[in-house]
Structure 1
Amino acid sequence: MTPLSLDAAQADPVGAFQSYTQLYGKKYMSAAEYQKRLQSFNNNVQYIAAHNSIDATYKLALNEFADLTFEEFRTTHLGLLPGVNGTFRRGANSPFCYENVEAAKSINWVEKGAVTPVKNQAFCGSCWAFSTTGSMEGANYLATGELISLSEQQLVDCDTSKDQGCGGGLMDYAFEYIVKNGGLDTEKDYSYWSVGGMCNKLREGRTVVSIDGYEDVPVNNEAALAKAVSSQPISVAICASQAMQFYSSGVIAGEGSCTGLNHGVLAAGYDEDEQGKPYWLVKNSWGGTWGESGYMRLERGISQKEGAFGILMAPSYPIKKSANPKHVPEVCGYFGWSECEYGSKCSCSMDFLGLFCLSWGCANKEL
C-alpha cells in the first residue's frame, strides 16, 4: 500500500488516496463522489507541496480534511457571525479591567493548568461556543482552582435568541446568555453531539459554573491583548484562511493576512519561538490531531493594525468574581430528562437486562 506522505501523494495520488481513506475511515456514497474527493485530494496535495517548497515560517501537511475544498471546509468548521449591529463587538465604550496590568514577557495557560484538552466541533459551525467555553473554563480555574470542562452543546441548543447553533454565533452573545441563565452546565452532563437539538431545560438549569459579566479588549490594540492574555485565556476572533485547513507546525506569518473574521478560537498564551519570532498561542477546536496537537501559533508584533488574521479586532473575556452556584441538582441518565435534588443521588429503579435504565429514582447521599 502506498504510504500517506506528501511525496507519495505526488508520485502516486490514487494509491495515497486509498491509504488516506483507510487511515481516516472515509466512505463515499458513489463512484462519482469518490472521484470528486480524489480530485479535491489531488488539488490539496499540490497546494500543500507548493507552500512547503518556499521558505515559509510554518508548514502544511495532509490531514483528515484533505478531501475537502476550502469552500466545503469553511461551511462546516468555521461559524463566527457578526452581531445585530454588523460588528463583532458590544460597543466602543466597553470597560477594560486590565488597562493598568503590566503584561508578562510570556505566558502559557496550558502549562499553568487553566485550559482543558483540545475539543472537536466536527461538522458544526459552533466554533463560537468552543471559544466561549475555553475562556470561561480559564476564568473559573483562576477563580476557584478547578478546571471544569463546560458544555458547548448547551450553547448550541439553548442560546438561540441571537446565536444560531451550528449556523454560527458570537462569543459576546454567548457570554450574555450565560449571565442571564445564571451559568453553564458541564461537558460531562450536557455532552457535545455536533448537531443542534432541542434545549434540555433540566440541564440548562444545572448552572455549575457562573460568570458575572464580560468585557471587550480595546480593538486593534496589541498591548491591550497582551495585558488581557497575561491575566486569563481570552476568546478571540480570527480570519481562518485556506492554509489553516492544513496547518501542521510553525508560526504562521501575519503580514498581509486576511481580516474577514469567520472563526472563534482561544488565545491561550504568547511567547517567542527558537528564532526569536513572537507568536500568539491559539487553541483551536478541530481536534487534537490537527496542527500542533490542536494548537497553532500566529505571528505577534506585526505592523498590520488588526494583527495576524485579525486577532486584535474582537477579543473578549468573561468576568468571574462570584462563587459558583451551590446545591446543583444531579441529572439522571444519559439523556437527562429527570433529576434528583441536591442532597440525593440518581438511583436506577428499573433497568433492562442490566444494560440501561428504564426508570430513575433518587437516593440520599452524604453531603
Structure 2
Amino acid sequence: MQERLRNFKQTVEVVNDVNDDKTLPYTSCLNFVSVMTDQEVRDLLTLDRVNISRWEKEQEPSSYSFLKQPKVVNWVERGAVPAVKNQGSCGSCWAFSATSAMEGNYFIETGDQVSFSDQESLECSVEGLDKKWNGCSGGWMGWPYDYVKKVDRLALEKDFKYVASDRPCNMAGVPNGLKKARLTGHRQLPKSDKDLLQAAAVSVVSVGIQVSNTPFSTYRSGVYTCQREKGCNCQQGGDHAINLVGYGEGYWRLKNSWGSSWGDQGYIKMSRNQDNICLINTAATVPVFQCRPGQKCKKWDGNDDDKEEEEEEDFDVGKPVKCGEIKHFGGRCVDLSNSGNEAVLTDIGCDREFCLTDKGYLKDKVTDKCLTTSDPDRNDNLITFGICKTARMWAETKKGFKIQPGSGKCWHPLGGSANPPNENKIVIYSGCDEDRLTFRMEASMCWEEQSGKKLSKKVGGKLKKLRKLDVAKDMCVETVGCTGIYFTKGKYFLSSSDKPQSSKKKGDKVFVMTDCSEACQAGEQRCEDGKCREKCEKNDDDCPPGTTRCPDGVCKHVHMC
C-alpha cells in the first residue's frame, strides 16, 4: 500500500506539472496506472524483455509508393479498427499490437470488419518458439504473424475470448476467422518517419515505443510531446507495442491496449514534429494479406484524403465565479467514466477541478469540456463531458446542481441511491429537495497577498514568529483556527482573524486564503486600492538592477529573499 501511495503522489506531481505548463500541447490525468506498483507497471511494458534486435533484422526493408500522399488518414473512421481492447495485467501488448494490425490490414484487403482473437495470438505464437516461455512476460509482434502464416488460421474474438494469461495452445473445435484472405507474411519498415508515413497511408502499422520514465501513461488529450529540454527522454529503448492507425497535420494517431478509460478513449496523438518520437519508427511492422482464390475482396486503395478533425471553436462560457472539486455529499468526487464521456462518482484520485461560470456553465479545467446532458426533460439522462458550445447551463442551489432554466431537474446518482457505489454514473432526475441529490462544489483555495494590511487575533493567543513564508503557510493549514498570516518587521505571525485591517506600518502585508477563481494571479498582490499588481509601493522600483525588495524591506537578489 505504501508503494501505491508513493507512486500515486509522484503521478499527481507529474499530472500537475504537465497541466500547469501551458507551453505543452497536451493534458494529463490520473488513471488506473497511477496507483500501480513498480512491478505492475513493468509487467505492462514487456517489449524490452526479449532480444528484439535479431527479429528487427529478419525482414528486408520495403518501401511504399503511390501517386499521392494524403494529408490526413484515419483508419478508425474508415472502419478498419475495432473497439479498443484491454490487455489487463498480462504483458501481452505485443500480441494485441500484432492482432490489431492484422484486423486493420485484413479489412484493407477484404473490406470486412473483424475482431480477431488476441488470446490465440498470445498462446499459440509463443509455443512455436519456446514452450517454456510465458507470453505475459513479453514478446515480439512478428511471432503472431509467423504463427498465423504457418497454420493459416486465427479465431475471431467472439469465438476465443481473452483471459489475460498464457495457457497451452489448443484450438481444437474453434472456428477459423480467416475466411476471405490469408496472411502471406509481414514487412519490416525502414527506420524513418517518411517510410512510416507512407505505410500509414495504406495500412495499419504495429509499432514499438518507449513508455517508461515518461508522462505517456498519464496522457488525456492533445498532441503528446517528449522534449529533452522539458526533462523527457524517450530515446532509450522500446518497451511497449501499440498501433499506428493514421495521422494528421503534425501528429500520429495511435491506438493503445489499455482500455477505453485510458487516454483519449484509448487513443493518443503523438507529435510528428519530433523525428522518431519515442522510437516510433524503430520497430514498425505491417502484416500482408492476400485474397483467397474464389473470394470477392473489396480492397481499399489507400489514396483517399480524410477530413482533419475539427477543433472546437472558442466559446464564451463566461468568467469563473467558483472553482473546485464537485463532491457528492457522501464524499465521492465527480470524474470521467471508464467507458466513455459520462460523469461518474469515484473515491480514487478526487483531484478533478471544475469552474462554475457567471453564465451558468460547468467547465472541466483539464479538458476544457463542459458538463452537459443531451435532454434535460428526460429522467435518468446521463451527464456527460462535451463541447461547451452545445452544453447546458446549470445553477447551484442549497441542495446541489440543477439544470437551468426552470426545469426542476437535479443531479442524481444513477438508481437514486443515497449511498451509491464507486464509479456510479450520474444522471438528471426530477426533484431537488433530497440529500442524495447534493453535489457541492468544494472551492479551491489559494494564498493571496494583500499589501498595507494587518491581522489581529494571534492563533491560540500565542505569538508564533516565523521567518519563512512557506513554513508559515504550511503551519497555518495544519493549525486549527488559523485563517491567515500577518507579516510585519520581517516576521510572519499566524492569525485567526478573517478581516484584514489597514496598517500604517511600511511593509506590512497579510496572506489570506481566497477562492482561487477570485484571487490575484501568482506573482501579484492585492494593493490598497483593491487591484492586483506585481508591486504596490511606489518605491518598490528603486532597487538596483538584478535585485528586488524582499518582504523584510531590503533589496536583495531574488534567491536571497
TM-score by structure 2 length? Answer: 0.47
2:5 to 5, 20, 38: 38
**Counterpart amino acid of residue 67 in structure 1:** V
**CA gap 1:121/1:301 in 2 versus in 1, 3 angstroms:** same
Q: How does 1:301-320 map to 2 (within 5 A)?
A: 301-302=273-274, 304=275, 307-320=276-289
Give the CA deviation at 1:118.
Answer: 0.2
- In structure 1, distance between residues paired with 2:209 and 2:173: 31
Q: How does 1:170-189 map to 2 (within 5 A)?
A: 170-189=140-159
**Equivalent residue for 2:93?**
127
**CA gap 1:167/1:322 in 2 versus in 1, 3 angstroms:** same
Give the CA deviation at 1:313.
Answer: 0.8
Bigger RCO of structures 1 and 2 (CA < 8 A, at least 6 apart): 1
3-state DSSP class of the match of 1:318? strand
**2:138 is aligned with 1:138:** no
**Equivalent residue for 2:27?**
59
**Equivalent residue for 2:359?**
none
Q: Which has the higher helix share?
A: 1
Native 8 Å contact 1:156 1:164 kept in 2:
no
Q: Show CA shifts across 1:142-200 (max 9, x none).
A: 12211110011112111113474111111122211110111211111111001111212
- In structure 2, distance between residues paired with 1:194 and 1:248: 25
Greater CA deviation, 240-249 or 79-88?
79-88
Native 8 Å contact 2:255 2:267 kept in 1:
yes
Q: Which has the higher strand share?
A: 2
Q: Show CA shifts across 1:2-57 (max 9, x none).
A: xxxxxxxxxxxxxxxxxxxxxxxxxxxxxxx3x44333322221222122222211
- In structure 1, distance between residues paired with 2:88 and 2:50: 24
Native 8 Å contact 2:49 2:137 kept in 1:
no
3-state DSSP class of the match of 1:320? strand
3-state DSSP class of the match of 1:202? coil
**Counterpart amino acid of residue 191 in structure 1:** K
Q: How does 1:292-303 map to 2 (within 5 A)?
A: 292-302=264-274
3-state DSSP class of the match of 2:290? coil
Give the CA deviation at 1:236.
Answer: 0.8
**2:190 is aligned with 1:222:** no
**Equivalent residue for 1:11?**
none
Native 8 Å contact 1:79 1:125 kept in 2:
yes
**Equivalent residue for 2:425?**
none
3-state DSSP class of the match of 1:321? strand
Q: Show CA shifts across 1:66-124 (max 9, x none).
A: 2124x33432222214765734514363334x245642111000000000000000101
Q: How does 1:1-367 map to 2 (within 5 A)?
A: 33=1, 35-55=2-22, 56-69=24-37, 71-81=38-48, 86-91=53-58, 93-96=60-63, 98-100=64-66, 102-160=68-126, 161-162=128-129, 164-202=134-172, 206=176, 208=178, 210-219=182-191, 221-241=192-212, 242-256=214-228, 257-259=233-235, 260-272=237-249, 278-302=250-274, 304=275, 307-323=276-292
3-state DSSP class of the match of 2:244? strand
3-state DSSP class of the match of 1:191? coil
Native 8 Å contact 1:78 1:263 kept in 2:
yes
Which structure 2 segments of 5+ residues have no match? 296-561
Native 8 Å contact 1:81 1:170 kept in 2:
no
Spell out structure 1 runs of 4+ moving beyond 4 A.
81-85
**Counterpart amino acid of residue 224 in structure 1:** D
Native 8 Å contact 1:103 1:227 kept in 2:
yes
Q: Percent identity?
A: 32
3-state DSSP class of the match of 2:109? helix
Give the CA deviation at 1:250.
Answer: 1.1
- In structure 2, distance between residues paired with 1:249 and 1:113: 22
- In structure 1, distance between residues paired with 2:112 and 2:264: 25
- In structure 2, distance between residues paired with 1:45 and 1:255: 20
**CA gap 1:81/1:186 in 2 versus in 1, 3 angstroms:** farther
Native 8 Å contact 2:125 2:146 kept in 1:
no
3-state DSSP class of the match of 2:270? strand
Native 8 Å contact 1:239 1:309 kept in 2:
yes
- In structure 1, distance between residues paired with 2:220 and 2:160: 31
- In structure 2, distance between residues paired with 1:281 and 1:299: 9
**CA gap 1:113/1:286 in 2 versus in 1, 3 angstroms:** same
TM-score by structure 1 length? Answer: 0.71
3-state DSSP class of the match of 1:317? strand
**Counterpart amino acid of residue 262 in structure 1:** D
- In structure 1, distance between residues paired with 2:255 and 2:91: 16
Which structure 1 segments of 5+ residues have no match? 1-32, 273-277, 327-367
3-state DSSP class of the match of 1:124? coil
- In structure 1, distance between residues paired with 2:68 and 2:49: 31
**Counterpart amino acid of residue 62 in structure 1:** L
Give the CA deviation at 1:126.
Answer: 0.4
3-state DSSP class of the match of 1:319? strand
- In structure 2, distance between residues paired with 1:88 and 1:82: 13
RMSD of the alignment, in Å?
2.3
Native 8 Å contact 2:159 2:174 kept in 1:
no
Give the CA deviation at 1:309.
Answer: 0.4
Native 8 Å contact 1:222 1:312 kept in 2:
yes
**Counterpart amino acid of residue 144 in structure 2:** A
3-state DSSP class of the match of 1:211? strand
Native 8 Å contact 2:84 2:257 kept in 1:
yes
- In structure 1, distance between residues paired with 2:49 and 2:293: 30
Give the CA deviation at 1:216.
Answer: 1.1
3-state DSSP class of the match of 2:215? helix
Native 8 Å contact 1:57 1:251 kept in 2:
yes
Q: Which has the larger radius of gyration?
A: 2
- In structure 2, distance between residues paired with 1:57 and 1:228: 26
Greater CA deviation, 77-86 or 162-171?
77-86
Give the CA deviation at 1:201.
Answer: 2.9
**CA gap 1:175/1:83 in 2 versus in 1, 3 angstroms:** farther
Greater CA deviation, 51-60 or 185-194?
51-60
